[in-house]
Amino acid sequence: MDSSETTPLLSRPNIPVNHMYDEDESDFEDKANATEKILSGEYESLDYDGCENVLYQMEEKKKSVRETMVIEMLRWLVMFFVGVLTGLVASLIDFCVIKSTALKFSIIKQYVEKCVDKECMEIPLLVWVGINGGLVFVAAVLTACFEPVAAGSGIPQIKCYLNGVKVPHVVRLKTIVVKVIGVVCSVAGGLIVGKEGPMIHSGAVIAAGISQGRSDTFRKFDLKIFEFFRADTEKRDFVAGGAAAGVSAAFGAPVGGVLFSLEEGASFWNQALAWRIFFASMMSTFTLNVIQSYIQGIPWDLSYPGLFNFGSFDTTTYSAFEIPIFILMGVLGGLLGALFNKFNYILTKFRKRYINQSRDQVMEAMIVAIITATVGYFSLYFNNNCSPMLHNQDPNSVQFYCNDGQYSSTASILFQSPEDSVKSLFHESKGMYSPSTLIVYCLCVFLLACWTYGLYVPSGLFIPSLLVGAAWGRLVGICLNYIFPNEDWVDFGKYSLIGAAAQLGGIVRMTISLTVIIMEATGNITFGLPIMIVLIVAKWVGDIFNEGIYDMHIHIQGVPLLGWEPSSVLTNLSAREVMSHPVSVFRMKESVGRIMEVLKTETHNGFPVVEDHNPDLQNSSEDEDMSFGTYRGIILRSQLLVLLKQRVFGDNEAHGLTTKDFRDAYPKFTPIRRIHVTQYERENCEMNLEAYMNPAAYCVTDNALFPRIFKLFRALGLRHLVVVNKHHQVVGMVTRKDLARYKVTKKLWKVSVEELAISTQ
């Protein structure tokens, strides 16, 4: 499919169009920009609108009330297991990270203590670099060589999935194995990453796996009772539950988890589903809680709801006069977030162009690991702030080059996992970190986290963002303390928390779910309003400059994601301008030869089924007003593939195909090149599509406007929408890519619209 072919024939006034992508462009900047003007054809849509064909209707009529209830019960059962298993996986990750990090730091601390007086400080450095390098090597090799889709947090991919885009391999068993091992190695390997984002992805994979009751990797394993769930719609509902369970396990935030699924995939929301998702979330934090209580040695003391919590903020309060300070911090968070995203954007484009071989990807991850370890080490050397030991029992206190009775604040912040560092920044007493330590630390973490996100290792962005924000937030606290000494309201922990929220909001730009996640993680509802204000301001300021980091990565990959709302600048477009024309259609009774031919030569996945149409005339006319027969329904490529494979030629009743045959083939249908029919069958057999097509599929008239089409796609999760004229004849076809290809960019106060081309696969 050539990009120019997919361009609708009618011109579009008011829109500066940028159709073509020039292959010869050699300059990096131009080429990278040009690639972004393409929507990747590689990504197919998921079908969230059920097919109500004759077979389905027969099945529904036969279904007893008991069967319906059993299916409903099974849905709850699946959600139960999704929650429990997500909680278990989270506990496993946490356990491994804690043990390996503790082991690593105890080894390094031993070397430091041995070498401090003997001037052999290069030895602990080498040990540190060696251990980190080794662990990151494992994570990078697994990711780059075995399952690249496990890289990063996985949140953009899950966001795409819930939005209706199939990202290849995203919910595979192999992906979760690589993700879990990889995230343990990258966190323990000292990279500035968190394990919370990957947890959301893991939850989603677990949900997809359990709900299908079978796996590509273990083909013999096949739970027939879950057969009913083998369809995109059902699977998506469970994936939404899994993602929520992941958030819930990561932050001990079950409500935040439900809202995360709502914010990222709101198109399919209904009460019953929300209730089940909430159940999965609750189960996941409960399971994690039980296991953690055993690990901590206090069985059934359920006070560890998440992998990460912010520690106790029970006694912290704020006054109304502090709100302007919070707003200013929100502005700073938005600005710093936009800067972070800009740097990461440049880096991602560079990576896409130059670092696309597995070997180079592993090398880059190793370089970052070594630099992270070295920077940490040298910042100890050059910034060895000594403070009097406040509480001797604190295991994080490291004496390093300080006198007896003192400890090095820089060493303390570095000799722990990033999560513990966030907590230290929130809760340590006022004198613990000097301003210079915080400035150096904040700067290093900002740059390193920016470089790290997008590396070929599983990595979350929440903790690094919180870390940067907590550091500058604490600095704000120190400044306020300087201006208003001896005032009780200047609580460093509070400003550190607000800074962390502002920075995270400025980078990811989520609002609803993030407010609740942070609220649940602090366990203090009083802070709801300041957090909300800070997140809104940070998003608002950040959005002036660029988009959130997840959306940015999604767009760089050319994924056809549909936003919440159609852009207001596109309201004047009509279906005629958006649709594709001419349309490949099939007749109700179509020859096997023609079906084979069309499926082989075209990449489309859906075809209108029509009456009164002569396909021989179709290609001979370039007429824009041409119609393609009276619309009767839609048939999917996947359905045709099953029919061809089962050789349903001629009288279909005789073959007795049921909806079960289609579910069994889901989700991997035999490709057309592997299906063989004889010459005789091609020429003489006909397929009757009437029983298999979806006669109730949505269609619009050619004068429908863009917002209506967009809402249909977004709210109903459509994959194909047929456009008909006033005689109910097919005139065009609209898919998600036709809508997603209008790229609306906001730079400062200027809004511009470009039309992207769709690449061949």
Footprint of ligand ATP on this chain (CB under 6 A)?
Answer: 6, 41, 44-45, 580, 583-584, 603-607, 719-720, 733-738, 758
User: What is the number of other CB atoms lying within 10 angstroms of the CB of residue 748?
Assistant: 7
Q: How far is the CB of 1 from ligand ATP (least distance, A)?
A: 6
CA–CA distance, 330 with 504 (Å, rounded to integer):
10
CA angle, 416 then 420 then 426, to 5°: 130
Instruction: Pinpoint the alpha helices (H) of 355-401.
Output: 358-382
β-strands 686-688, 630-636 pairing = unpaired
Q: How far is the CB of 740 from ligand ATP (least distance, A)?
A: 9
Q: 133, 129, 141: which is closest to 456 by C-alpha?
A: 141
β-strands 606-611, 586-587 pairing = parallel
Q: Which residues contact 532 (CB under 8 A, 6 or more apart)?
A: 511, 515
Q: How far is the CB of 562 from ligand ATP (least distance, A)?
A: 12
Q: How far is the CB of 166 from ligand ATP (least distance, A)?
A: 8
Which residue number, 386 or 585, has a Cβ lying nearer to ligand ATP? 585
Which residue number, 44 or 428, has a Cβ lying nearer to ligand ATP? 44
C-beta pairs of 64-72 under 8 Å, 24+ apart in sequence: 71/228
Q: Which residues contact 500 (CB under 8 A, 6 or more apart)?
A: 422, 425, 426, 465, 466, 467, 469, 470, 473
What's 743's DSSP letter? E
Per-residue DSSP letters for 504-566? HHHHH---HHHHHHHHHHHT-GGGHHHHHHHHHHHHHHHHHH---HHHHHHHHTT-----SS-
Q: 25, 26, 20, 59: which is closest to 38 by C-alpha?
A: 20
Which residue number, 47 or 196, has a Cβ lying nearer to ligand ATP? 47
CA–CA distance, 158 with 531 (Å, rounded to integer):
25
Which residue number, 230 or 737, has a Cβ lying nearer to ligand ATP? 737
Helix (H, G, I), strand (E, B) or coil at 747: strand
- Token reading at 689: 């599509």
Which residue number, 312 or 603, has a Cβ lying nearer to ligand ATP? 603
Q: How far is the CB of 87 from ligand ATP (least distance, A)?
A: 34
Which residue number, 584 or 646, has a Cβ lying nearer to ligand ATP? 584
Q: How far is the CB of 210 from ligand ATP (least distance, A)?
A: 25
Q: How far is the CB of 180 from ligand ATP (least distance, A)?
A: 30
Q: How far is the CB of 480 from ligand ATP (least distance, A)?
A: 53
Q: How far is the CB of 731 from ligand ATP (least distance, A)?
A: 11
Helix (H, G, I), strand (E, B) or coil at 116: coil
Which residue number, 51 or 758, has a Cβ lying nearer to ligand ATP? 758
Which residue number, 217 or 670, has a Cβ lying nearer to ligand ATP? 670
CA–CA distance, 490 with 476 (Å, rounded to integer):
10
Which residue number, 340 or 607, has a Cβ lying nearer to ligand ATP? 607
Which residue number, 165 or 355, has a Cβ lying nearer to ligand ATP? 165
Q: How far is the CB of 607 from ligand ATP (least distance, A)?
A: 5
Q: 25, 534, 516: which is closest to 257 by C-alpha?
A: 516
Q: Which residues contact 190 (CB under 8 A, 6 or more apart)?
A: 104, 128, 131, 132, 135, 136, 369, 372, 373, 376
C-beta pairs of 25-31 under 8 Å, 24+ apart in sequence: 28/350, 28/353, 31/353
- Token reading at 294: 């055993």
CA–CA distance, 308 with 704 (Å, rounded to integer):
49
Which residue number, 503 or 729, has a Cβ lying nearer to ligand ATP? 729
Amino acid of residue 444: C
Q: How far is the CB of 628 from ligand ATP (least distance, A)?
A: 9
Helix (H) or strand (E) holding 72: helix 65-115
Q: Which residue is listed with tokens 């043990």?
A: 99
Which residue number, 286 or 713, has a Cβ lying nearer to ligand ATP? 713
- Token reading at 403: 């006198």
Which residue number, 509 or 720, has a Cβ lying nearer to ligand ATP? 720
Q: How far is the CB of 719 from ligand ATP (least distance, A)?
A: 6
Q: How far is the CB of 617 from ligand ATP (least distance, A)?
A: 16
Contact between 202 and 180 under an 8 Å Cβ cutoff? The reply is: yes
Q: How far is the CB of 728 from ligand ATP (least distance, A)?
A: 17
CA–CA distance, 123 with 121 (Å, rounded to integer):
5
Q: How far is the CB of 56 from ligand ATP (least distance, A)?
A: 20
Q: 197, 199, 193: which is closest to 101 by C-alpha?
A: 193
Which residue number, 104 or 741, has a Cβ lying nearer to ligand ATP? 741
Which residue number, 2 or 30, has a Cβ lying nearer to ligand ATP? 2
Which residue number, 311 or 667, has a Cβ lying nearer to ligand ATP? 667
Contact between 636 and 47 under an 8 Å Cβ cutoff? The reply is: yes
CA–CA distance, 338 with 546 (Å, rounded to integer):
6
Q: How far is the CB of 145 from ligand ATP (least distance, A)?
A: 28
